[in-house]
């Protein structure tokens, strides 16, 4: 069984039920998530061995966070405890033309204060077949950035494939470092790029459009700049409104452009974590299938996540395969 290692902040999501605003009710529901942990959980459901690395609070909240990952089969032995609180966010869920709104409380979290020295990357990556990181992590703090960089360095030394999802969230970069420089450095230590024109523009200061032609041009430029990167995987989303989306995946593998069919989600259940579902699907696909099937698997994984409550994709490999095979009618399975 393949082992995938992810590194990043475990976040608690707290939300009123349904489409209520916080002040309308005294009832809340919570999930644990965080983009990299979501990838680990999803890969676990697909049948892979996974380990998540990070830090949680040294109280019953951090304990519950680890229990949550364990429930879904993720190894938590390299998640450290800290006297800082667990990062969290509140969510009010919108509908149709009303946006969902997120209020973060993560600036001084256990993960932001992670001590890079406490992470034994040699040990963790010993039997690892894939390492995954996102642009959220280096945005959070110097400590987080340094810990990630060390992990990527060790992974490189071991020749482990590394997927980078360098989403740039401007509001998070508050510790005085230049996002572009750091993200380029870390992408320079990776082998698979998950992103499209937006992310490429951010890294290369280019202005590629969302069109396929520009995606290909941008990807070529990225591969030229970062020769370690072998393939570029992207997805496009058309949002009719908050409840009705269309998803399509595309890739440039250095030689050819591939594109999947569009999948339509007419009744979105939960939008959060769909990008992570794409990444997890892609990693699973690249570990087990060829590029074409991997891309389809990633797209279908992303699409079906829209029907799952919570941050992480909890479907099995078989459920995703079934979508690839064209079973879109959602018949009851008895």
Give the one residue of 71, 118, 181, 224 binding a second copy; rule: CB under 8 A.
Answer: 71
| Residues 185-214 interacting with a second copy (rule: CB under 8 A) | none
Give the one residue of 86, 114, 119, 155 binding a second copy; rule: CB under 8 A.
Answer: 86
HSE-up of 328 (CA within 13 Å, CB side)?
11
| Sole window of 103-111, 185-193, 198-206, 283-291 interacting with a second copy (rule: CB under 8 A) | 103-111
- The CB-of-97 to a second copy minimum distance in angstroms stands at 5
95 lies in the binding site for a second copy (CB under 8 A): yes
DSSP state of 105: E
- The CB-of-229 to a second copy minimum distance in angstroms stands at 27
| Sole window of 13-21, 123-131, 184-192, 217-225 interacting with a second copy (rule: CB under 8 A) | 13-21
**Strand extents, DSSP E, 149-287:** 162-165, 192-194, 231-241, 244-252, 257-259, 263-265
77 lies in the binding site for a second copy (CB under 8 A): no
- The CB-of-327 to a second copy minimum distance in angstroms stands at 7
φ/ψ of residue 90, rounded to 5:
-100, 145
* 55: its two tokens: 């830090």
Q: Alpha-carbon distance 276 to 46, whole Å?
A: 14
**Per-position x/- string for 22-51, each x denoting binding to a second copy as judged by CB under 8 A, each - no binding:** xxxxxxxxxx--------------------
Sequence-separated (6 or more) residues with CB below 8 Å from residue 41: 50, 69, 72, 73, 74, 312, 313, 314
Give the one residue of 107, 153, 178, 254 binding a second copy; rule: CB under 8 A.
Answer: 107
| Residues 220-279 interacting with a second copy (rule: CB under 8 A) | 239-244, 263, 265-267, 269, 271-272
120 lies in the binding site for a second copy (CB under 8 A): no
Sequence-separated (6 or more) residues with CB below 8 Å from residue 234: 194, 195, 196, 197, 215, 249, 250, 251
- The CB-of-240 to a second copy minimum distance in angstroms stands at 7
Q: Residues 36, 167, 82, 123: is their CA dihedral positive or negative?
A: positive
Q: Alpha-carbon distance 111 to 211, whole Å?
A: 37
């Amino acid at each position: 069984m393949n082992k995938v290692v992810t590194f990043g902040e475990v976040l608690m999501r707290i939300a009123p039920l349904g489409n209520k605003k916080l002040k309308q009710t005294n009832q809340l529901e919570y999930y644990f998530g965080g983009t990299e942990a979501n990838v680990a959980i999803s890969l676990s459901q697909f049948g892979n061995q996974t380990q998540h690395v990070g830090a949680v609070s040294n109280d019953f909240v951090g304990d519950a966070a680890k229990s949550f990952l364990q429930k879904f089969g993720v190894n938590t032995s390299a998640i450290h405890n800290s006297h800082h609180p667990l990062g969290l966010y509140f969510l009010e869920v919108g509908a149709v033309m009303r946006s969902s709104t997120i209020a973060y409380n993560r600036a001084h979290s256990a993960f932001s204060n992670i001590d890079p020295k406490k992470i034994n990357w040699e040990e963790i990556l010993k039997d690892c077949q894939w390492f995954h990181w996102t642009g959220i992590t280096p945005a959070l703090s110097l400590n987080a950035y340094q810990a990630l960089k060390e992990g990527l360095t060790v992974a490189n030394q071991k020749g482990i494939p590394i997927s980078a999802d360098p989403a740039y969230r401007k509001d998070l970069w508050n510790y005085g470092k230049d996002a572009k420089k750091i993200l380029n450095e870390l992408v320079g230590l990776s082998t698979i790029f998950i992103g499209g024109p937006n992310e490429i523009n951010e890294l290369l200061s280019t202005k590629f459009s969302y069109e396929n032609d520009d995606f290909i041009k941008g990807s070529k430029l990225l591969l030229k700049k970062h020769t370690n990167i072998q393939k570029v995987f992207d997805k496009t989303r058309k949002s009719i409104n908050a409840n009705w989306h269309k998803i399509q995946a595309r890739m440039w593998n250095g030689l050819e452009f591939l594109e999947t069919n569009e999948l339509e989600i007419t009744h979105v259940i939960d939008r959060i974590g769909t990008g992570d579902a794409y990444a997890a699907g892609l990693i699973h696909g690249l570990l087990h299938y060829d590029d074409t099937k991997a891309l389809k698997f990633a797209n279908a994984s992303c699409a079906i996540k829209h029907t799952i409550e919570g941050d992480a994709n909890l479907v099995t490999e078989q459920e995703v395969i079934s979508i690839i095979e064209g079973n879109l009618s959602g018949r009851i399975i008895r």
